Chains A and B, each alone.
Chain A
Amino acid sequence: MNDLVLIRKNLFRRKLRAILMMVSILIAFAIFGVLASFERAFNAGQDRATPDRLVVLNKINFTQPLPISYYNRVAAIDGVAQITHFSWFGGYYQEPRNFIAAFAVDPENWMKLRDSDYVFAPEVRAAFIRERTGVLVGARMMEKWGWKVGDHIPISSSIWSQRSGSHAWDFIIVGSFTARIPQADTNVMLMGYDYFNETRSFGKDLINWLALRTTSVAANERVIDAIDGMFANSPYETTTDSEKAFNKAFAAQLGNVALIVELVVGAAFLTILMIVGNTMVMTVRERTREIGVLKTLGFSGGRILRMVLGESILLALLGGLPGLGVALLLITRVRDSLMSFVPTLSLYPDIAAAAVGLMVVFGIITGLVPALNAMRLNIVTALGRS
């Protein structure tokens, strides 16, 4: 026997109570695991954004277009190192519910700008530049639909139509790419802007936004002022901001996810903290006499404190770790069906590590008061002797 056995035996002396407390903690950490993973997925764009990348949007809002002519004019501004443009395709595959995140871009410059996020094989890079009807498809999207390089796929648009009146475009998959960093989403499709622009029936020579990299972070302010100043008082005024701010604003359309996570997790934790903390106080109070006996035998106050804290931490871990398991199971089950909306949804190791840290903190907080009471307990009082 050792202290751990003693702690375990104490914890499970009332099995039903211990199990109910563990289930409460399990629920709290399952909620934490799921919501924290969703929050991370929603904010993946912000995590990926680097400080030297800027986004130029129509000042009204990002759904309003900009002329393609802005592309060359912004590229000529001093301090702009790389630039590309994006046009939202609004695609779906076979049926409208099969949403496809697809963008029309300038292939060569898009790949240059995204080199830090994705891995492009040289032959893929060349094929995407060369093939006008070619599309580049991210690894997760390829996997999701079972596509392979060389496949001809019809992709429809819920926004655009061809001059023939058809909403469907036939594309050839010329290559795929993988993520260089975990936050980079590969559930995405890119097509050449030239082909898209030539074939669509309206919106000619318009784009949705520009993305650029400055020569240095220090040049950001100057470049932002130059761009927005250049197009001030024009029919298409611009607002230029960091990519991080852009992604954050994009994510904000889904609501303040972080706030929801904090409120829900906070409420759940506070409730369960009070329940478990109160139960721990009662549990230790019931053992007053036994604690007095242990002290009589020579167990020091510090050792008693460690044992009670150990018990509450063990309780938190025994409830919390299965809770994380439940969160992992839930995320795995819903990930495929939500891939289009939260493509990077996953229970990342750092979220799991934070949860384990939180379990320990939870255990300390719930056990601290009863542990201090036990440590300070007067032996004579505890034994009911005077």
Chain B
Amino acid sequence: MLSPTDPIDPMIDIVDLCKRFTKGKETITIFDGLNLAIPRGDFVAVMGPSGSGKTTLLNLLGGIDRSDAGEIEVAGERLDRLSESELSRWRASHIGFIFQFYNLMPMLTAAQNVELPLLLTRLGRKERRQRVETALGVVGLADRVKHYPKEMSGGQQQRVAIARAIVSDPALLLCDEPTGDLDRTTADEVLSILQVLNRDLGKTIVMVTHDPAAAQYAKRSLHLDKGHFIEKELVA
């Protein structure tokens, strides 16, 4: 079990987390008493074999799945105490998600895809446009504003997805195999952007990956196996 250092200002604080799935008559225990603390500004790579619970952990941290027991506090909010609608509002303002397969809306341009999370805010059209331009500028796609996903490469699409994740200025970015669908060079570009977001903009990042090379970009790696962290390795 991981026994993390006691951060003064934790972004993530998990205590005795339990999560089970029922498959037919069988109950599968994913976590049974998991503990984890991640301070603000950290960049953590979560590695482990398939079925170890990496994605489930990410889902729980993002408030898109529910734990069965234990406490889970993210960005100062006890997620296990929030209703569905409260979780929706909380996700909109605190979390940026980056998926393996980008998950862009095919009928929307890059700018419109990035603007999606801002539809949940009270920002005016002009301010939304400025934020979209800034976010696309950060990922180096200021010249692809009006391009549709099918007109962009995989790397460009993933950069649009990163811009969408950061446009509402969330404190925590959750990345699920963000380079799993990219070649090495493009993956390095995407990971460099994440590194910049962590280093220069202070975003806390939790990245699930199978790729040791990708994990090298994180400040530290956590290895999950059978629902428990088995080691902690400082990378940077």
Contact = CB atoms under 8 A, between A and B. Distances in A.
A84 B103 CA distance: 79
B56 to A, nearest CB: 7
Contact of B64 (A3, A6, A296, A300): A296
A13 B106 contact: yes
Contacts of A380: 59, 64-65
Nearest to B97: A296
Given A9-B107, A13-B106, A297 B59 contact: no
Nearest to B116: A297
Interface in B109-145: 112, 115-117, 119-120, 128
A302 B120 CA distance: 13
A12 B106 CA distance: 12
Contacts of B85: 300-302
B84 A298 contact: no
B182 interface: no
Among A2, A12, A289, A296, the one with the most B-chain Cβ atoms within 10 Å of its Cβ is A296
B64 A297 contact: no
B106 A385 contact: no
Among A12, A293, A299, the one with the most B-chain Cβ atoms within 10 Å of its Cβ is A293
B107 A13 contact: yes
A289 B103 contact: yes
Nearest to A11: B107
A386 interface: yes
A159 B107 CA distance: 70
B88 interface: yes
A386 B62 contact: no
A162 to B, nearest CB: 77
Given A13-B107, A379-B64, A294 B116 contact: yes
Contacts of B115: 1
B119 A3 contact: yes
Contacts, number: 72
B107 A298 contact: no
B55 interface: yes
Nearest to B128: A1
B92 interface: yes
Among A5, A12, A298, A301, the one with the most B-chain Cβ atoms within 10 Å of its Cβ is A298
Contact of B176 (A6, A379, A385): A385
A123 B21 CA distance: 92
Contacts of B106: 13
A244 interface: no
Given A9-B107, A383-B99, A297 B56 contact: no
Interface in A332-386: 379-380, 383, 385-386
Given A13-B106, A290-B105, A386-B55, A298 B64 contact: no
Contacts of A289: 103
A295 interface: yes
A15 to B, nearest CB: 11
Contact of A298 (B56, B108, B120): B120
Interface of B: 21, 55-56, 59, 62, 64-65, 84-85, 88-93, 97, 99, 103, 105-108, 112, 115-117, 119-120, 128, 164, 176
10 contacts: A1-B112, A6-B108, A293-B103, A294-B116, A296-B62, A297-B97, A297-B120, A298-B91, A300-B84, A379-B64
**4 tightest CB-CB pairs across the interface, nearest first?**
A298-B92, A379-B64, A13-B107, A300-B88
Interface of A: 1-3, 5-6, 9-10, 12-13, 289-290, 293-302, 379-380, 383, 385-386
